[in-house]
A and B are shown apart, each in its own frame.
Chain A
């Protein structure tokens, strides 16, 4: 038998929980802001100060903060490596939370000084990158997952560099490639950071939540190579005018995503747990959405569609139905685990303790997640039909769903 020394796998719960609670608040804020500006969304106007505020509360305040919190919890257990410096992590949380809050708010109220909030957020994100790079590089046995997560972290760094350049240009001007930087900022953020991060952790989480064994992960290597190459091609296409470069980029991104789906499909096929938890099924549903959106982007690129409304809504769907939906599903697993470890880990074996499933109200979670699907489908439908009241109502449903979701997650912390 080969024994393994027990690593210190649990991070101080206050660290990931701080990020997650902040993120849930930002999520509700973002949806309320977007609800209040639904008329601008109707005409496909995403590049307006109030929409910027909503979008950055959603992406930075919610998605990035959740990703950071989840990484503080998952990296030690998935990479069997303790977090480099927890105190540094708490300082990083404070700086990032302040920076993201100021930056997102100033984008609406005073865009010309948003750069100062942005700089604070950048310092926070750079601190996070330093923390994670040192932690991950100290992992004894590197895997493909290590590379995927490292590339995601590099993408995050480049995303904020591009974001800072954009904020600088808004404040002082002088940079002529504003549009190229903006497109790079978006692609690096959503495909480079979020997608690769979800890919990397899904290879650990999907088998764990489905109790799958004997799967091959044979597409993982082609996936990493293809997806990263596709991302580089797409980024190049924003800077060099070559006719088929965006199409090649989207083709490779689509292919890479397909490889990932093939692996997930095999993992699920070889699962031991027949009845999967509903929120986890929702995360799997998000993977399907991601594939469809990549395919639509490929078709859009193939037919040289230039409409900013088309790409604006496709990016919205990419973010919401793939990235955000994945996070929403996984959080229903991650938060109960965190709280369970904090509250019940020392009671196991001494008294009867609840299972993770018993810590969430599964029926309520199904209803809330269904509301998100209804909200997104209705929103897109009424934007296509250009019916203002419909957009207002369905963005309202999303705002209500986000508040209910935040309550349902926070509720776990009182069990």
Chain B
């Protein structure tokens, strides 16, 4: 598995504690980029600006990615535009929110 896929897989472990759904299925991750030295930049958003889980989720991403071997500096760039919309969510996330 290449490093980018490994990051993507690892991010499934970071759960939004309010919704109980991981941040990838919620569509919060906008992009993963790696430079030549394997430093990672994660562009992500939250479901709403001023979300109380703000610090926790971004720190959670950093914590989880630190366990990946071979990864350099990890930076999480929290962005508000484009704003998150429910269309960003996966089928699975929709199912959890509507199906329970």
A211 to chain B, nearest CB (A): 6
B71 on the interface (CB 8 Å rule)? no
Task: Please pick, from B54, B81, B89, B98, the residue contacting A6 in the complex, using a CB distance under 8 A.
Answer: B54
* 1/0 contact string of A101-112 vs chain B (CB within 8 Å): 000000000000
Contact of B63 with A4 in the complex, beta carbons under 8 Å: no
Contact of B60 with A4 in the complex, beta carbons under 8 Å: no
Contact of A272 with B15 in the complex, beta carbons under 8 Å: no
Please name the residue on chain A nearest to B20 by beta carbon. A355
Note all chain B residues with C-beta closer than 8 A to A344.
Answer: 17, 56
Given the known A-B contacts A1-B82, A6-B78, A346-B59, are A208 and B64 also in contact in the complex, defined by CB atoms under 8 Å? no
In the complex, A347→B53 CA distance in Å?
13
Contact of B62 with A9 in the complex, beta carbons under 8 Å: no
B43 on the interface (CB 8 Å rule)? yes
B5 on the interface (CB 8 Å rule)? no
In the complex, A8→B59 CA distance in Å?
13
A357 on the interface (CB 8 Å rule)? yes
Main secondary structure of the interface of B (DSSP, over half): mixed
In the complex, A348→B66 CA distance in Å?
12
B interface residue count range (under 10 / 10 to 19 / 20 to 34 / 35 or more): 35 or more
Contact of B54 with A9 in the complex, beta carbons under 8 Å: yes
8 Å CB interface, B20-38 against A:
20, 30
Contact of A355 with B15 in the complex, beta carbons under 8 Å: yes
A interface residue count range (under 10 / 10 to 19 / 20 to 34 / 35 or more): 35 or more
In the complex, A21→B99 CA distance in Å?
36
Contact of B80 with A10 in the complex, beta carbons under 8 Å: no
A325 to chain B, nearest CB (A): 22
B82 to chain A, nearest CB (A): 7
Note all chain B residues with C-beta closer than 8 A to A77.
Answer: 50-52, 54
In the complex, A78→B54 CA distance in Å?
11
B47 on the interface (CB 8 Å rule)? yes
Contact of B19 with A1 in the complex, beta carbons under 8 Å: no
B22 to chain A, nearest CB (A): 11
Give B contacts to A, CB under 8 Å: 13-15, 17-20, 30, 43, 47-65, 67, 77-82, 84-86, 89, 97-100
A-B complex: 4 closest residue pairs judged by Cβ atoms: A349-B64, A348-B60, A349-B63, A349-B60
| 14 A–B contacts from the bound complex (CB under 8 Å) | A2-B79, A4-B49, A6-B78, A9-B52, A77-B50, A274-B100, A337-B52, A341-B56, A348-B15, A348-B63, A349-B61, A349-B64, A355-B20, A356-B17
